[in-house]
A and B are shown apart, each in its own frame.
Chain A
Amino acid sequence: MPDALTAAYALRLGDDALILSHRLSEWVGHGPELEEDIALANTALDLLGQARLLLACAGAREGRGRDEDALAYGRDVLDFSNLLLVEQPNGDFAQTMVRQFLFDAYAVELWPRLSASRDEVLAGIAGKAAKEAAYHVEQSAAWVVRMGDGTEESHDRAQAGLDLLWPYAGEIFEADGVEAALAEEGIAVAPSGLRGPWRARVEAVLDEAGLAPPEGAGVRTGGRQGRHSEHLGHLLAEFQFMQRAYPGAEW
């Protein structure tokens, strides 16, 4: 039975995972050390696995015959509903790790709560993702501390990344009718309730790292409604190229 609300919710979470996975995959072959290169790819693959399950769920609930591939490769910028944070460019390694930490600190709060969802499919996906997110946030937090509390240059780069990305963090906790209605039914997690624990974890790590959020920074939103930064189109151009040029190609 089509369920537009759950489809939209799964699509939002799936798009977050998909776009962030692609961003991390851009590091493959360019990591600062071979071991970090592999670690980044591992995280990208965890996120890709989450994205596949969530997009498949979204397609099934939508009831229009679109599978995970159709949703990943067959939509344009305006149809993507990911957070603006995850589509921001990698920048340097510090910027990538700050972006990852801001997201992981959210994911590690989201998934355990969503694993208690009344929707069994979402609960199952969330249970798997919770274990992955617990590892991701330990690693990205460790890097934020290592760089923030490292050399002058690593500190400056981490702080620059934080200054750049902080305005995108507020969007994580925005909710519209989709989350509100589903949270009411015990299916979704209300993002607003994650702000407190997210903030506590982020502040503790930034404090240990000697980093500080920029003061008076605004909040940039719009991703959930398809209003994206200019970066997503470029990302999709590369991500979707093969399926655009050779529709239905498999190997």
Chain B
Amino acid sequence: MRSGSRRGRPRRPNSARRAKRVSDSDRRGENERDWPLFEVFIRARTGLHHRHCGSLHAADPEMALARARDVYTRRGEGTSIWVVASEHIFASDPADKDMLFEPAMSKIYRHPSFYDLPDDVENM
């Protein structure tokens, strides 16, 4: 028999542990406050990396992980799930896009397009 609900729970990455503290402070606020937002990353197959697939609301990382399983892996999409509190994502400003990305557009020599990929190489 499995004793209690905690055994077998996946180890959380450090970012999720920080998110736990954030949501705890949220819960001490008014009851009506919305649950915080989490970003969900799913690894479809062993060997691939996790991909961002969406977001959801949950009270804490444990619940976010469970709901990510329920919402985003209903059709067998996943072998691994990460969740990260959205507020921990530090994003680039859309207004900076010219400064950040335009200079790369003219540097065609950076693209690995001068040799052929073997057909057997997938997921490149």
Give the B-binding residues of A (Cβ under 8 A).
33-36, 38-39, 42, 108-109, 134, 137-139, 141-142, 145-146, 151, 197, 200-201, 204-205, 208
Contacts and interface: CB of A to CB of B under 8 A. Distances in A.
Nearest to B68: A35
B4 A197 contact: no
Q: How many B residues are at the interface, by size bracket? A: 10 to 19
Which of B4, B56, B59 neighbours the largest number of chain A CB atoms within 10 Å of its CB? B4
Interface string B11-35: 0000000000000000000010001
Contact of B59 (A146, A201, A208): A146
Nearest to B7: A138
Given A42-B74, A142-B62, A142-B66, A35 B5 contact: no
B43 interface: no
Contact of B5 (A34, A39, A138, A200): A138
Contacts of A38: 67, 70-71
Tell me the interface secondary structure of chain A in the complex: helix
B81 interface: no
Contacts of B71: 35, 38-39
Nearest to B73: A42
Interface in B71-89: 71, 74
B98 to A, nearest CB: 37
B2 A145 contact: no
Contact of A108 (B2, B59, B62, B67): B2
B4 A39 contact: no
A146 B62 CA distance: 11
Given A35-B57, A38-B71, A200 B1 contact: yes
B58 interface: yes
